[in-house]
Structure 1
């Protein structure tokens, strides 16, 4: 097939995907369904727009690999070890129960034992790609039910290989050699897992440290992608799936401090290639089969989803999880998986299912995948309604009457996520000083640094430091920028600072962004893209030099301060209304939900009628609905503050209340700004 025809196929898929996905977004349906529908329309059973579907399959395999790779990057070997009992106990029970029940139902319908068990194999597997993509979008991977789902999906991916080796036995074509091959395969799997643990602990951290020291993004990306493809190729040589190899490659890199930067580099490629995977699944679907037997196929589809949703809670009962989490996990695993397609092709060759049964299976499988995003949208309210039923409440009480047994799935995270914290970007002199101050004041903070050596030294000192690029959204999300109070940018790249400020402001419109820049002319653009404060080293250095020089000529300190203030806010610099001088400090406001803590200075003339009155009789409470929490006088807080404490001129009142009431009070006690 010529390269032009492949390019034509890719162009058709991309253009059709854009149109269909736009339509589905307009009607509030997930993009995954749009990709599946795109494949149905472009495939050989509908409009036949794609001339070389096998080429699309190769691209789709790469998409599954990258999806599994990023899942492995965001997981870790420690996390896998933490849920190892859930993987093997919960996974074994879920797959075993599904295979057994489906086999019994198939034999009751007249199927032979071999094909009946094979149908159990096909329906026992769930879609790792779809389920984990949806859970990543909803940020549920680290939840309790997300960990149950992940454990079972890992086992399902591992058990595909023994299932494929058992196909000759089920079809009556195998003998002792098949059992020997199964034993060899299990041995290979153990060897591969051992190599993954050793590589993640000893090899990859050292290799990646050498790579990131070069400061070459190209080399870093090549190393990451090369590791993914290399481990996937090795697992394929061992007879395992390439997708499993990509997941293991992600696990290897996840143990290093560079995993978040790796995810940021791979994410754009993953989204593109993963979309081709869902399109390729849709291309397998023969619409004519659905049109010929619509009622039968829809009934079987719903039956399969209900059956899997009922068997999963039974399989996870021994994990001692809350009923709500088990039900959410059951709804997440109710579809048929992508590896079932690979297994079904092997079954057709072995004669376990006919060509007509194969098409019916494809129709059922694709429909379950199409329904999965819809099920995920209604899962939470549906489970909440079910948990409100008296029967489920009694079941929960019976399972966990007073004391819950120790769960087999330890899900507690090592530490809670940061909130209302400081993010320090850049671990140079400014960053280190700020970190020392934050540590002394016991403020929560996290550091982001793009220099591998600084990250390495920081980790040795026990700092909470992450390697990554501040312009990458995924890295910022990991730092908790949406929950941060202040972000301090202390980097020397003006272009990166501009992109970072714009991204941070989009992720958190309320956060305070303080930027250190080298030159004065860079401030205007930074303010325009959303910076709260921009501190120019060029200007601040000149002010410090001016102060020292004038002091040598015995110029009074007050006069030096006046000159600096004029230069800072006058025609020699861009006027800043947020300069952190004494006046700005005395007007500092901290926002809370529908309220704020504010400092209001009592100035001359406008605030004269407050002077000499006590806190009780100053009308601050009655007229403005504000509480006076403290009074600062001559640089010191008055202690203790009582109802008889008098308000004096030039005091600063610390008040708490609604923002509009604070504004009213400020207008009465402060002179109007010119």
Structure 2
């Protein structure tokens, strides 16, 4: 059994781990680490890897899965709305880049056909690096991020025409018009097949898979679907990545998108990392050592000219200079598909010898500095002054969820919480793993999504960074623990409330980061003793007081371990036992129609009203002349037992 290739993969991964660790320590972006690892492993470094071509083939999976995930995050409806920046912006960017490099090459003594080909090579940007960095920096939804994505989509579409044109520049082509016509027909055919699949086949297929409720089956089905569509486009001469992007679009607006995305993310990260390593392997360190000035000069020229061309394309779409600067720097590197195009140029005589090595070395340098260019973009744009006008927002930029409630699980408990949130005017987002429930409730207009809340990416899509509260009401205790841990790691300020079955599960959930844990066992005991007291004809008011006291005592006990140590140090003995409660003034109560002064709440009852909410209008520190009316929500600060004892003042007689 030949283990040589496996040995090389292990060496690559081991080298990547070491280099990535060093990069993390000195603050370098991950992409740079992978490129350096490739240089060290490749023929130009320590020559640890012999099967470079096989590594490149495996690494191509990274680009495929990256485009698949981007397609799911974008959605087909957004792509339709992005058609102007995709086609106009992309066409202007590629046209300007080719024109600039043609002029520079002819001035440098190259033939016009070579200059055009150099423009082809430079016109393409790195989809893998740009999208990975924009995702890492959470800038994919920014104006320059959306414009960059639109132009990258057009570049992917332009790869095939550029590859068809290249042999003609080298004088080895056939009938150009016929070739382009056939390719256009194939493209239309692929789009037609994709539309039919998206409308009739894909929903039924994934519904059948989701009903099994097996993670493994769903993941395998997702991978097979992605690769099948990618192979379909590749079979007609289009790129694998374009097919993967179309596969993502087909799933993007279905209820399966989040679950599909969460499954492929680990694979995407591993294979994308291998792709960057494979790019680094192309570099000949000896050539750079002998020609450092030439290589750096070429890399600088590429960055400047590409930034100008991409920035000009963004401005052609009506965006301000600041957005154009940021967008131009995002796309200022040479793309991965340029290496594929370069091989075609080698075969046709447009690129040879030292010129090819100069292209490889300068291209990898532009890729390596991309994270810093993306970081520099907004800073440089901000120095230009002035805020971006309203029309400079990216097309259909998603409105970020803010101050909302995340409900995990939509059984009877989750439905009651959603109903209460709806009545209170609180925005909410539901995550549910039962596909039948998701489909049924979506038809009713519920904001419900199919996804596992134990995955960070699913929680990010639910807007966890802007959420105020997350409620977990599921029956699986181990899943609840994973969800609490993932949510707390992403959002330290989030309030997490969990329903669990038994009292014994409370302590671990609190330790993982839950703020409140409501055990069904405890609530059931309260319901039982309530019914017993009713049978003994105990007055309702007394029963309610017992319930308040029981819940107050037990939940105070349960919450104590969750208090952070710093918070405990800040709590003085004078505040121990104090609480803030919201009490509603009912019609006909002692307070209804009386002023704060007339009620003697503080003097006789020990209750301090710090605020009153009346129909959404908040009055802070109300004066003594403030007159209560039915429906007011009073924020009362006092000892917990006083709040329980005096709650009757707010209730109807």
TM, length-normalised to structure 1: 0.83
Aligned twin of 2:239: 241
Query: Is the counterpart of residue 371 in structure 1 residue 369 in structure 2?
Result: yes
Instruction: Map 1:510-529 onto structure 2 (within 5 A).
Output: 510-529=493-512
Return the offset for 1:630: 10
Partner Cα distance (1:667, 1:631) in 2: 18
Instruction: Map 1:483-494 onto structure 2 (within 5 A).
Output: 483-494=466-477
Unaligned runs of 5+ in 1: 580-590, 592-598, 604-628, 659-664
1:474 pairs, out of 457, 461, 465, with 457
Partner Cα distance (1:636, 1:233) in 2: 75
Could you report, residue by residue, the CA deviation over 1:39-64 in whole angstroms, capped at 9, with x for unpaired residues? 00111111111132222111111111
Contact kept? 1:486, 1:514, Cα under 8 Å: yes
Instruction: Map 1:515-554 onto structure 2 (within 5 A).
Output: 515-554=498-537
Return the offset for 1:477: 1.0
Contact kept? 2:59, 2:271, Cα under 8 Å: yes
Query: Is the counterpart of residue 283 in structure 1 residue 281 in structure 2?
Result: yes
Contact kept? 2:232, 2:243, Cα under 8 Å: yes
Instruction: Map 1:81-120 onto structure 2 (within 5 A).
Output: 81-120=80-119
2:448 pairs, out of 465, 476, 480, with 465
Contact kept? 2:68, 2:245, Cα under 8 Å: yes
The alpha-carbon distance between structure 1 residues 632 and 156, as it changes in their structure 2 partners (threshold 3 A), is same
Return the offset for 1:457: 0.9
The total of aligned residue pairs comes to 606
1:496 pairs, out of 471, 479, 494, with 479
Return the offset for 1:193: 2.5
SS of 1:173's equivalent? coil
Aligned twin of 2:209: 211
Contact kept? 2:299, 2:365, Cα under 8 Å: yes
SS of 1:654's equivalent? strand
SS of 2:446's equivalent? coil
Query: Is the counterpart of residue 384 in structure 1 residue 365 in structure 2?
Result: no
1:411 pairs, out of 374, 379, 395, with 395
Could you report, residue by residue, the CA deviation over 1:428-448 in whole angstroms, capped at 9, with x for unpaired residues? 111111111111111111111
Return the offset for 1:386: 3.3
Return the offset for 1:20: 0.8
Aligned twin of 1:301: 299
Contact kept? 1:335, 1:369, Cα under 8 Å: yes
The alpha-carbon distance between structure 1 residues 635 and 201, as it changes in their structure 2 partners (threshold 3 A), is farther
The alpha-carbon distance between structure 1 residues 637 and 62, as it changes in their structure 2 partners (threshold 3 A), is farther
The alpha-carbon distance between structure 1 residues 435 and 100, as it changes in their structure 2 partners (threshold 3 A), is same
Return the offset for 1:538: 2.3
Aligned twin of 2:420: 437
Aligned twin of 2:650: none
Contact kept? 1:630, 1:641, Cα under 8 Å: no
Contact kept? 2:607, 2:638, Cα under 8 Å: no
Partner Cα distance (2:590, 2:3) in 1: 78
Contact kept? 1:168, 1:350, Cα under 8 Å: yes
The alpha-carbon distance between structure 1 residues 641 and 5, as it changes in their structure 2 partners (threshold 3 A), is farther
Aligned twin of 1:312: 310
SS of 1:483's equivalent? coil
Aligned twin of 2:151: 152
The alpha-carbon distance between structure 1 residues 3 and 377, as it changes in their structure 2 partners (threshold 3 A), is farther
Aligned twin of 2:160: 161
Partner Cα distance (2:584, 2:361) in 1: 73
Supply the RMSD in Å over aligned alpha carbons.
3.2
Q: Which shifted more, 532-541 or 120-129?
A: 532-541
Could you report, residue by residue, the CA deviation over 1:315-345 in whole angstroms, capped at 9, with x for unpaired residues? 2333111221111110101100000000001
Return the offset for 1:15: 1.2
Q: Which shifted more, 96-105 or 125-134?
A: 96-105
Could you report, residue by residue, the CA deviation over 1:296-328 in whole angstroms, capped at 9, with x for unpaired residues? 110111111011111222223331112211111
Q: Which shifted more, 460-469 or 95-104?
A: 95-104
SS of 1:412's equivalent? coil
Contact kept? 2:607, 2:642, Cα under 8 Å: no
Contact kept? 2:167, 2:344, Cα under 8 Å: no
Return the offset for 1:645: 7.0
Aligned twin of 1:653: 608
Q: Which shifted more, 48-57 or 334-343?
A: 48-57
The alpha-carbon distance between structure 1 residues 156 and 636, as it changes in their structure 2 partners (threshold 3 A), is farther
Could you report, residue by residue, the CA deviation over 1:57-82 in whole angstroms, capped at 9, with x for unpaired residues? 11111111111111111111111111
Contact kept? 1:98, 1:311, Cα under 8 Å: yes
Contact kept? 1:196, 1:251, Cα under 8 Å: no
SS of 1:316's equivalent? helix
Aligned twin of 1:606: none
TM, length-normalised to structure 2: 0.86
Could you report, residue by residue, the CA deviation over 1:1-23 in whole angstroms, capped at 9, with x for unpaired residues? x6411111111111111111111
The alpha-carbon distance between structure 1 residues 159 and 565, as it changes in their structure 2 partners (threshold 3 A), is closer
The alpha-carbon distance between structure 1 residues 48 and 640, as it changes in their structure 2 partners (threshold 3 A), is farther
Aligned twin of 1:576: 557
